[in-house]
């Protein structure tokens, strides 16, 4: 097989691999945006989930189910954890 043909085949394979990588990267970005950042929520450690659950429990203790159809919570509320 001539050297130029090998070079052409490697160039095509490289282009296909680059295209697949970029498609995966862009798809992951749009999937994360479409799910509202849910994938980032899954990547947290156990301490984050413990603090998150405690914050939810605190909010539910102050606003029991059935008292309101919606629970307005201010960003400055101490039960709302600051995101990292």
Give the residue among 32, 60, 33, 74 at the shortest CA–CA distance from 52: 60
Q: Are residues 1 and 32 in the same domain?
A: yes
Contact of 52 with 81, CB cutoff 8 Å: yes
Distance CA 71, CA 66 (A): 10
How confident is the model over 10-55, as pLDDT tens digits?
999 999 999 999 999 998 888 877 777 677 777 788 888 888 888 8
50, 30: one domain: no
What's the pLDDT score for residue 26? Answer: 92
Residue 22, domain extent: 1-37
Structural domains in the chain (count): 2
Per the listing, tokens 């862009």 go with 26
**Residue 80 in contact with residue 51, Cβ under 8 Å?**
no
């Amino acid at each position: 097989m001539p050297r130029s043909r090998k070079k052409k085949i490697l160039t095509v394979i490289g282009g296909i691999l680059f295209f697949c990588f970029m498609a995966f990267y862009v798809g992951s970005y749009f999937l994360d945006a479409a799910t509202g950042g849910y994938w980032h929520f899954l990547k947290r450690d156990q301490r984050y989930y413990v603090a998150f659950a405690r914050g939810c429990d605190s909010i539910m203790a102050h606003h029991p189910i059935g008292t309101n159809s919606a629970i307005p919570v201010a960003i400055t509320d101490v039960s709302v954890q600051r995101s990292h």
